[in-house]
């Protein structure tokens, strides 16, 4: 059996997801406080508009969204605006509206070790981490396709040179 974030081995994630399903099945997650409590216990929260935030090991909150161009790829934005990619090796379609799925994927915190920084090379040849403000991060359709294809990013939409990751997405 595969181990690590992509392989979803038995362990804390499955236990957390089972506990979530049991509490939900017993009707214990009907109040907003109960939902907020179990989400925080599992390392995530939802902001007012429903978007998911993941709690990092150091307590920082990362914005999470899908890359809409490549199935199974998610984008993360840290509090400083740095952008990362994360790919589920087991799910081609990830429903970020489903707390059970979020719990199953992220409750053990292993995602943090698996995130890949998105990098670009500026006009002077310097390798820099891709940063976006919160609004641009929410509005961009996809970034990873540009990286995996090794193409120049559309300077009109992103304003960056060649994008790449440190690591590999499959």
**What pLDDT is recorded for position 74?**
92
With residue 129 as reference, give the H or E element that holds it. Answer: strand 127-129
How far is it, in rounded angstroms, from Cα 109 to Cα 89? 16
User: What confidence tens digit (pLDDT) does each residue in 31-56 have?
Assistant: 899 899 999 999 999 999 999 999 99
* SS3 state at 167: coil
- Listed in sequence order, the residues at least 6 apart from 46 whose beta carbon sits closer than 8 Å to its beta carbon are 39, 52, 53
Q: Which two tokens stand for residue 135?
A: 């609004």
| CA-based torsion, 120, 144, 42, 32: positive or negative | positive
For the chain, percent of residues with pLDDT exceeding 70: 79
Confidence of residue 131 (pLDDT cuts 50, 70, 90): very high
Select from 163, 141, 160 the least CA-distant residue to 150: 163
């Amino acid at each position: 059996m595969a181990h690590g974030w992509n392989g979803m081995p038995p362990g804390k994630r499955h236990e957390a997801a089972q506990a979530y399903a049991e509490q939900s099945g017993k009707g214990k997650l009907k109040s907003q406080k109960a939902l907020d409590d179990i989400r925080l216990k599992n390392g995530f929260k939802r902001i007012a508009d429903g978007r998911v935030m993941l709690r990092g090991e150091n307590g920082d909150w990362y914005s999470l969204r899908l890359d809409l161009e490549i199935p199974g790829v998610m984008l993360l934005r840290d509090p400083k605006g740095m952008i990362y990619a994360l790919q589920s090796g087991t799910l081609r379609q990830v429903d970020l509206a489903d707390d059970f799925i979020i719990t199953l994927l992220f409750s053990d915190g292993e995602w943090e070790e698996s995130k890949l920084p998105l990098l670009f090379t500026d006009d002077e040849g310097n390798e820099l981490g891709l940063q976006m403000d919160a609004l641009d991060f929410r509005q961009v359709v996809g970034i990873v396709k540009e990286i995996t294809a090794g193409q120049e990013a559309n300077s009109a939409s992103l304003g960056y040179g060649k994008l790449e990751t440190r690591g590999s997405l499959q």
